[in-house]
Amino acid sequence: MPLITEKLITLKNAWMASHITDAEFPTPLSEKGLHLYQLAHSELSTQVVDSVISPSESSLTFYPVDCHPLTIRYALVYSSYWQQEQQQQALVEYLTQIMFEADANAQLYVGFYKGKPAATGMIYTDLDEGEKVSLVSDIHALPLPNQDQLMQNMEHYLLALAQQTSATVILQK
């Protein structure tokens, strides 16, 4: 299982980086954002998820990121993971460069709480020996009093969604 996990993380990180590394003229701020993202993700742990608790009633409404306005909302929420305003700006600059293709292996999600974007997450899916495997990652929520609950709601939603189509689901956090 470690090889599958390592492969998925490498592919996800390459996809995330490609929006800057493949750009003709990336901005210095977006490059800094990519560096901060990579640094933070190098410290995360993973676990294979054997069973998923059925998502209970969630306070979030979930939307797949499929247009630039949702990409911006994703970037604004996810950047709140970093404490310093300059780092947050770099992450917003970086994350708003994400471009989607219909056949992309990654799908970002934004969870809305009381009509406002409040949580993020991603499912990255690939094939391993003919079977779909998914990595659930990038789960974060705004620093609200119910931040932990919002993150748990996003995690449960994405894990349940990934298990519908994948033989193996891995959680990175």
Q: What is the CATH number of the domain that holds 53?
A: 3.40.630
| Angle formed at CA 102 by CA 75 and CA 139, multiple of 5 degrees | 35
Give the range of the structural domain holding residue 73, as residue numbers without chain letter: 1-172
pLDDT of the residue at 109: 98
| Interatomic CA distance for residues 167 and 63, integer angstroms | 23
Tens of pLDDT, residue by residue over 116-163, are 999 999 999 999 989 999 999 999 999 999 999 999 999 999 999 999
Burial class (CB in 10 A: 0-12, 13-18, 19+), 118: buried
| Interatomic CA distance for residues 135 and 5, integer angstroms | 8
The number of domains in the chain is: 1
Tens of pLDDT, residue by residue over 15-46, are 999 999 999 999 999 999 999 999 999 989 99
Tens of pLDDT, residue by residue over 56-108, are 789 999 999 999 999 999 999 999 999 999 999 999 999 999 987 778 999 99
